[in-house]
């Protein structure tokens, strides 16, 4: 019954839909480009909105596009982003969620511009830290440019990994979908091999709109409202009533007022600051305006043309005053001075300004300082407003600049073609922070951060096409690329400034005194004490050199064969294993042309398979060095200090781990078997792919060498398998001139399993996670909770000894944890692997209805077989152990005064018990987080014909209205089941994903 409702959706889609492969685009004329109707943009397998008679564009496509055999061999899906661009998203991840089978998107917060994660066909390794998440992301390619993202090495100087030091802004928030002509997701090696080891996790290919010879002006815009959520606020009286139940059960007099340790902010019920009105939500939540605008112009001739666009987006968050502003500009130009010579260039520039949340936890974690936490923020609006006013005494400027572009020269000499490309992607971020002393009990704080990610790439590619006897088609391709990556940051922070008016760490800028002698105060801060000023910087470089050769063969368009061999050399690999060699082979059989040529029911039937190996790059250069020293001395509360008592020192990397010699390349073996079929005059289209991904020689820290002071040893040998199936079904159910109905369903079913650990180990424990060979890597390691011991007589006694938890005898009021091994002791040996943090089934279901000039789109998004740990509820019930301590677990945000979750489902344990009954590592807090979302409802009207009747020359004029994030059906009792970090723990810190209502227009002249 667990998946019954999904099965119903699938059944309805397959039995009532006759899914279709989409028709080809209309060809226009050379002098005037004819634009397709809106339905054209929803059709897959169409790569560009161009005209076949435009010689410049046709030639540029022939040079740049992959060989046509690719469509027969590769497992890829292409979509036009016409419908996607109507979604008021701030990031690429939001736009692609639920759109492609096998692509899973995590959106842990609705905060505009915050980080989100993508995974194609499962996760290749256990997600133990942000490093692992970073190394599991797919490659995003924009017009051939492999885009960089923020490197996680900045986490090395942080005690907590809540937010990466610096801007922590999603770099893919810099992509304006109105500039994109197609989105393609590449999943198997036959499609991704040409991108090399950068593409080991799959590839998302974005192709921007190309210039057209005829003059064209486009205008796309929307404005909308993000609706504030409905929340139930609570106050001190409610919290007292919640805690009173525990005092009634487990204290002598049953009165919290007699408890000398009871929080002062709750002890006085007449205190209106905490026990009066709880109206803080009026300042925290809001109805927010969102808007986006894009203006583009293109034109030229068949020898030279251009496209230029400007965009502006403002996405106001509905909580905590968060905002994302994006300013973008994109310029494309093609020039063809000779018939056989093409020059093309593109520049895409974006500025992202982000106003971040004001979480106490994030602020305290950043500054490594916890003030008095004995009293939280009051729920009263007046007091909360005064707290917010203290922020205005300082600032938190968070800015990101992104520039990417290419210069390309192509030679078209008939059968022989050659393209050389120079790519650049540059991402820089600034964050300047000042917190006034009134926010930190007299201790002001200033911070300055600058970081950049830079990728430069030179790529050369030559192809030769050969046809023999009109039935044997060959395509030969040679490629070479060199890539240079640099990631760096500099960060400084200081405490206890002289006052709140000097908000930066001022330095003496003159290294010399007037008499020519050295200035001893040079670079010493004047606004902050020197001993309370800290500076950090780091840089990582990576060079990658690649060569590959590829051959495609087709016989009578019935049999297809492709083979690729590549060699990749990485500077992050050890000298003894600098190069990795990757073979890939793929084949396809057109069964329709072979044995079903006369069938009127089956229009297309292709069986395809691919197998190969691809290397996995090390994201960190220290793996290439073997045993090493580091220029840092860490201690609890500050992981990286560049010296000892102001003296530079070298130490072994005891905290990060021993790195030895003989570390080989990690790599991925992949097998894909699939079929594509079209039926009923191609009104029904089905694509099914089964895959196996074997990750080999993965690195992991093994507890070792403690006698030498090391925490762990970084060793190779971990192996992880992902197996699954991708299904895409699309149908043109009804098609006539007046009414049309198209429907599509995509879903992925994935299972992961740990196959091996270094040294032949069967299992290891990493923090609170157990990795066991033969078990999934996304499971939780938990105690089984069977209820509560209501009396001492219920506690099992063996040989006169009561059941114990880690040596502590259990008593009435303690949890009834299951003794799995029967040794009368509850400990780690009684924990079991249970649940899954990643969905077993995920996907989307889309329906498009057309009536005359009206069209209606309904999009559903679902996750099944996914479980979460409701840590926010564990924290709420564990108030005894979390009250008033000076650590991050005791921080209470203003949302502490919000009623969340279902309190009635948890037993009333003795919160004073030393076994910590509300500990999070038990299945008491494990919940089914499957969900079905009505993600988008969009209705639009095409006014093009009406405008033309009024003699207004328009190619397209389309108006629409959308409602997004309409509702969610889920058994989960917490917030939105999407608002969870990569580890599957719901801490309650994810800002709500808003319900938005927008009105928009798409116009083209």
Every domain of the chain and the residues it spans: 1-235+277-495+530-626+661-707+726-750+838-866+929-1005
The rounded distance, in Å, linking the Cα atoms of 176 and 89 is 10
| Pairing between β-strand 713-735 and β-strand 658-659 as defined by DSSP bridges | parallel
Q: What angle do CA 595, 598, 600 make, to 5 degrees?
A: 120
Residue 86: per-residue pLDDT: 85
CA 910 to chain centre: 40
CA dihedral 112, 115, 117, 118 (to 10 degrees): 60
The rounded distance, in Å, linking the Cα atoms of 165 and 366 is 8
Residue scoring higher pLDDT (522 or 675)? 675
The rounded distance, in Å, linking the Cα atoms of 62 and 70 is 14
Is residue 886 predicted with pLDDT exceeding 90? no
Residue 142: per-residue pLDDT: 95
Neighbours of 619 (CB within 10 A): 18
The rounded distance, in Å, linking the Cα atoms of 347 and 225 is 32
Could you tell me the two tokens for 357? Answer: 């949340």
The rounded distance, in Å, linking the Cα atoms of 266 and 240 is 7
The rounded distance, in Å, linking the Cα atoms of 730 and 682 is 10
Q: Residues 457-470: what's their mean pLDDT?
A: 95
Which range is least confidently modeled, 43-52, 451-460, 712-721, 851-860? Answer: 43-52
Q: Which residue is associated with the tokens 């971990």?
A: 718
Residue 32: per-residue pLDDT: 36
Is residue 306 predicted with pLDDT exceeding 80? yes
Which range is least confidently modeled, 300-314, 493-507, 644-658, 710-724? Answer: 644-658
The rounded distance, in Å, linking the Cα atoms of 168 and 486 is 18
Is residue 127 predicted with pLDDT exceeding 70? yes
pLDDT, one tens digit per residue, over 420-448 is 999 999 999 999 999 999 988 889 999 99
| Pairing between β-strand 288-300 and β-strand 216-227 as defined by DSSP bridges | antiparallel
Q: Which of 516, 765, 683 is nearest to 17 (CA)?
A: 683
The rounded distance, in Å, linking the Cα atoms of 104 and 864 is 12
Beta-bridge partners for 686: 677, 729
Per DSSP (E only), the strands in 12-120 are 76-79, 103-106, 117-120
Percent of the chain at pLDDT exceeding 90: 70
* Predicted confidence band of residue 68 (pLDDT cuts 50, 70, 90): very low
Half-sphere exposure of 176 (CA within 13 A, CB side): 30
Q: Which residue is associated with the tokens 């992202």?
A: 352
Q: Which of 408, 504, 413 is nearest to 457 (CA)?
A: 408
Q: Where are the alpha helices (DSSP H) in 236-374?
A: 236-250, 264-267, 272-275, 281-284, 360-367
The rounded distance, in Å, linking the Cα atoms of 6 and 844 is 11
The rounded distance, in Å, linking the Cα atoms of 671 and 584 is 10
Half-sphere exposure of 453 (CA within 13 A, CB side): 22
Specify the DSSP class assigned to residue 922: B
pLDDT, one tens digit per residue, over 597-652 is 888 899 999 999 999 999 999 999 988 888 888 877 766 666 666 666 656 678 88
Say which CATH topology domain 1-235+277-495+530-626+661-707+726-750+838-866+929-1005 has: Maltoporin; Chain A (2.40.170)
Is residue 7 predicted with pLDDT exceeding 50? no
Is residue 834 predicted with pLDDT exceeding 60? yes
Could you tell me the two tokens for 226? Answer: 């993000």
The rounded distance, in Å, linking the Cα atoms of 764 and 769 is 8
Is residue 982 predicted with pLDDT exceeding 90? yes
The rounded distance, in Å, linking the Cα atoms of 697 and 717 is 4
- In terms of average pLDDT, the best of 120-129, 653-662, 700-709, 954-963 is 120-129
* Predicted confidence band of residue 249 (pLDDT cuts 50, 70, 90): very high
CB 614 within 8 A of CB 199: yes
Q: Which residue is associated with the tokens 């500990």?
A: 919
Q: Which of 406, 226, 411, 255 is nearest to 322 (CA)?
A: 226
Q: Residues 119-140: what's their mean pLDDT?
A: 96
Could you tell me the two tokens for 613? Answer: 């190996």
The rounded distance, in Å, linking the Cα atoms of 188 and 185 is 10
**Residue 963 host element (H or E):** strand 956-969
The rounded distance, in Å, linking the Cα atoms of 265 and 765 is 40
CB 279 within 8 A of CB 234: no
Contacts of 791 (CB under 8 A, 6+ apart): 812
Q: What angle do CA 434, 438, 440 make, to 5 degrees?
A: 70
Is residue 1 predicted with pLDDT exceeding 60? no
| Pairing between β-strand 801-802 and β-strand 815-817 as defined by DSSP bridges | unpaired
Residue 358: per-residue pLDDT: 93
Half-sphere exposure of 311 (CA within 13 A, CB side): 32
Residue 635: per-residue pLDDT: 65
Residue 260: per-residue pLDDT: 80
Which range is least confidently modeled, 19-23, 147-151, 356-360? Answer: 19-23
* Predicted confidence band of residue 140 (pLDDT cuts 50, 70, 90): very high
Specify the DSSP class assigned to residue 22: P
The rounded distance, in Å, linking the Cα atoms of 465 and 887 is 66
Contacts for 562-566: CB closer than 8 Å, 24+ residues apart: 562/69, 562/73, 562/190, 562/586, 562/587, 564/193, 564/194, 564/612, 566/193, 566/196
CA dihedral 872, 875, 876, 880 (to 10 degrees): 180
The rounded distance, in Å, linking the Cα atoms of 123 and 103 is 11
Residue 381: per-residue pLDDT: 94
Residue 38: per-residue pLDDT: 35
Is residue 997 predicted with pLDDT exceeding 80? yes
Q: Which of 687, 669, 667 is nearest to 677 (CA)?
A: 687
The rounded distance, in Å, linking the Cα atoms of 138 and 616 is 12
The rounded distance, in Å, linking the Cα atoms of 313 and 740 is 33
The per-type count for the chain, helices as H runs and strands as E runs, is: 16, 43
pTM: 0.90
Is residue 71 predicted with pLDDT exceeding 70? no
Percent of the chain at pLDDT exceeding 70: 90
Q: Residues 558-584: what's their mean pLDDT?
A: 95
Is residue 482 predicted with pLDDT exceeding 80? yes
Residue 417: per-residue pLDDT: 96
Q: Residues 860-887: what's their mean pLDDT?
A: 93
Residue scoring higher pLDDT (955 or 551)? 551
The rounded distance, in Å, linking the Cα atoms of 841 and 782 is 23
Beta-bridge partners for 327: 312, 351
Task: Look over the chain and give the mean of its residue pLDDT values, rounded to a whole number.
Answer: 88
Residue 20: per-residue pLDDT: 29
DSSP letters, 330-358, are EEEEEEEEETTEEEEEEEEEEEEEEE---
The rounded distance, in Å, linking the Cα atoms of 394 and 501 is 9
CA dihedral 292, 962, 730, 851 (to 10 degrees): -120
Is residue 177 predicted with pLDDT exceeding 80? yes
Per DSSP (E only), the strands in 508-646 are 533-555, 559-570, 579-590, 602-616
DSSP letters, 428-470, are EEEEEEEE-GGGTTT--EEEEEEEEEEEEEEEEEEEEEEEETT
The rounded distance, in Å, linking the Cα atoms of 127 and 146 is 24
Q: Is the dihedral of CA 994, 997, 999, 1002 positive or negative?
A: positive
- Report how far apart, in Å, the C-alpha atoms of 699 and of each of 666, 906, 933 are: 8, 40, 37
Phi, psi values for residue 41, rounded to 5°: -75, -10
Residue 636: per-residue pLDDT: 62
* Predicted confidence band of residue 261 (pLDDT cuts 50, 70, 90): confident
Contacts of 14 (CB under 8 A, 6+ apart): 729, 745
pLDDT, one tens digit per residue, over 9-18 is 333 343 333 3
Is residue 24 predicted with pLDDT exceeding 80? no
Helix, strand, coil content of the chain in percent (nearest 5): 20, 45, 40
Q: Residues 491-514: what's their mean pLDDT?
A: 81
| Pairing between β-strand 203-208 and β-strand 139-142 as defined by DSSP bridges | parallel
- In terms of average pLDDT, the best of 524-533, 732-741, 749-758, 878-887 is 749-758
């Amino acid at each position: 019954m667990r998946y019954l409702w999904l099965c119903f959706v699938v059944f309805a889609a397959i039995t009532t839909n006759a899914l279709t492969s989409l028709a080809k685009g209309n060809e226009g004329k050379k002098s005037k480009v004819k634009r397709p109707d809106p339905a054209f943009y929803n059709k897959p397998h169409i790569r560009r909105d161009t005209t076949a008679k435009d010689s410049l564009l046709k030639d540029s496509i022939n040079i740049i596009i992959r060989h046509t055999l690719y469509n027969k061999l590769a497992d890829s899906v292409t979509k036009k982003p016409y419908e996607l661009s109507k979604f008021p998203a701030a990031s690429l991840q939001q736009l692609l969620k639920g759109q492609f089978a096998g692509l899973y998107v995590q959106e842990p917060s609705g905060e505009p511009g915050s980080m989100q994660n993508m995974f194609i066909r499962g996760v290749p390794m256990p997600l133990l830290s942000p490093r692992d998440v970073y190394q599991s992301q797919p490659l995003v390619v924009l017009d051939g440019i492999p885009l960089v993202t923020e490197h996680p090495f900045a986490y090395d100087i942080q005690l907590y990994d809540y937010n990466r030091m610096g801007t922590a802004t999603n770099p893919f928030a810099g992509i304006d979908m109105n500039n994109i002509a197609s989105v393609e997701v590449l999943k198997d090696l036959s499609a991704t091999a040409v991108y090399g080891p950068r593409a080991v996790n799959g590839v998302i290919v974005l192709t921007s709109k190309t210039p057209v010879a005829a003059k064209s002006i486009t205008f796309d815009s929307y404005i909308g409202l993000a609706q504030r959520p409905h929340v139930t606020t609570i106050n001190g009286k409610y919290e007292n009533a919640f805690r009173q139940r525990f005092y009634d059960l487990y204290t002598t007099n049953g009165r919290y007022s007699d408890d000398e340790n009871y929080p002062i902010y709750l002890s006085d019920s007449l205190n209106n600051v905490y026990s009066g009105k709880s109206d803080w939500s009026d300042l925290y939540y809001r109805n927010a305006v969102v808007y986006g605008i894009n203006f583009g112009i293109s034109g030229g001739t068949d020898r030279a043309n251009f496209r230029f666009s400007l965009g502006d987006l403002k996405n106001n968050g509905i909580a905590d005053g968060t905002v994302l502003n994006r300013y973008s500009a994109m310029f494309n130009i093609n020039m063809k001075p000779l018939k056989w010579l093409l020059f093309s260039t593109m520049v895409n520039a974006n500025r992202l300004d982000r106003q971040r949340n004001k979480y106490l936890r994030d602020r305290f974690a950043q500054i490594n300082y916890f003030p008095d936490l004995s009293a939280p923020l009051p729920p009263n609006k007046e007091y909360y407003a005064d707290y917010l006013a203290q922020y205005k005494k300082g600032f938190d400027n968070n800015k990101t600049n992104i520039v990417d572009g290419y210069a390309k020269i192509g030679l078209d000499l008939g059968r022989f073609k050659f393209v050389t490309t120079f790519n650049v992607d540059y991402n820089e971020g600034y964050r300047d922070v000042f917190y006034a002393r009134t926010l930190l009990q007299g201790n002001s704080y200033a911070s300055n951060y600058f970081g950049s990610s830079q990728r430069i790439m030179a790529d050369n590619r030559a192809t030769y096409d050969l046809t023999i006897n009109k039935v044997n088609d060959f395509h030969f391709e040679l490629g070479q690329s060199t890539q240079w990556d640099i990631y760096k940051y500099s960060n400084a922070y200081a405490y206890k400034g002289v006052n709140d008016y000097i908000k930066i760490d001022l330095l003496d800028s003159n290294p010399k005194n007037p008499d020519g002698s050295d200035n001893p105060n040079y670079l010493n801060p004047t606004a902050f004490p020197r001993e309370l000023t800290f500076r950090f910087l780091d840089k990582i470089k990576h060079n990658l050199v690649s060569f590959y050769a590829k051959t495609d063969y087709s016989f009578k368009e019935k049999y297809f064969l492709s083979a690729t061999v590549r060699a990749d050399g990485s500077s992050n690999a050890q000298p003894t294993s600098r190069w990795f060699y990757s073979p890939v082979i793929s084949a396809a059989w057109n069964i329709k042309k072979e044995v079903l040529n006369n069938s009127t029911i089956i229009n297309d039937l292709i069986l395809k398979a691919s197998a190969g190996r691809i290397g996995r790059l090390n994201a960190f250069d220290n793996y290439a060095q073997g045993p090493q020293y580091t220029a840092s001395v860490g201690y609890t509360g500050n992981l990286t200090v560049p010296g000892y008592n102001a003296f530079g020192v070298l130490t072994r990397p005891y905290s990060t781990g021993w790195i030895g010699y003989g570390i080989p390349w990690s790599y991925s073996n992949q097998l894909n078997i699939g079929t594509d079929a079209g039926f009923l005059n191609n009104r029904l289209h089905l694509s099914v792919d089964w895959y196996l991904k074997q990750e080999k020689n993965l690195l992991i820290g093994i507890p070792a060498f403690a006698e030498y002071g090391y925490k762990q040893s970084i060793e190779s040998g971990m192996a992880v398998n992902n197996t699954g199936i991708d299904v895409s079904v699309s149908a043109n159910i009804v098609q006539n001139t007046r009414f049309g109905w198209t429907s599509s369903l995509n879903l992925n079913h994935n299972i992961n399993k740990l196959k091996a650990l270094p040294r032949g180990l069967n299992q290891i424990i990493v923090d609170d996670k157990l990795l066991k060979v033969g078990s999934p890597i996304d499971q939780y390691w938990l105690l089984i909770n069977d209820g509560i011991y209501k009396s001492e007589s219920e506690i099992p006694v063996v040989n006169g000894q009561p059941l114990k938890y880690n040596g502590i005898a259990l008593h009435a009021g303690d949890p009834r944890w299951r003794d799995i091994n029967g040794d009368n002791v509850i400990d780690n040996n009684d924990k079991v692997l249970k649940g899954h943090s990643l969905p077993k089934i995920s996907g989307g279901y889309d329906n498009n209805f057309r009536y005359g000039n009206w069209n209606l789109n309904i999009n559903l998004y679902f996750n099944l077989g996914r479980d979460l740990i409701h840590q926010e509820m564990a924290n709420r019930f564990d108030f005894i152990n979390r009250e008033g301590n000076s650590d991050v677990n005791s921080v209470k945000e203003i949302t502490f005064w919000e009623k969340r979750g279902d309190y009635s489902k948890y037993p009333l344990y003795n919160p004073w018990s030393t076994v910590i009954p509300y500990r999070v590592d038990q299945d008491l807090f494990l919940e089914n987080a499957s969900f079905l979302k009505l993600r988008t409802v969009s209705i639009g009207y095409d006014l093009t014909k009406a405008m033309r009747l009024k003699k207004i020359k328009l190619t397209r004029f389309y108006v629409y209205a959308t409602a997004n994030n309409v509702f969610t059906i889920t058994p989960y009792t917490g917030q939105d089941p999407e608002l969870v970090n990569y580890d599957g723990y719901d801490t309650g810190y994810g800002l709500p994903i808003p319900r938005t209502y927008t009105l928009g227009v798409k116009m083209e002249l």
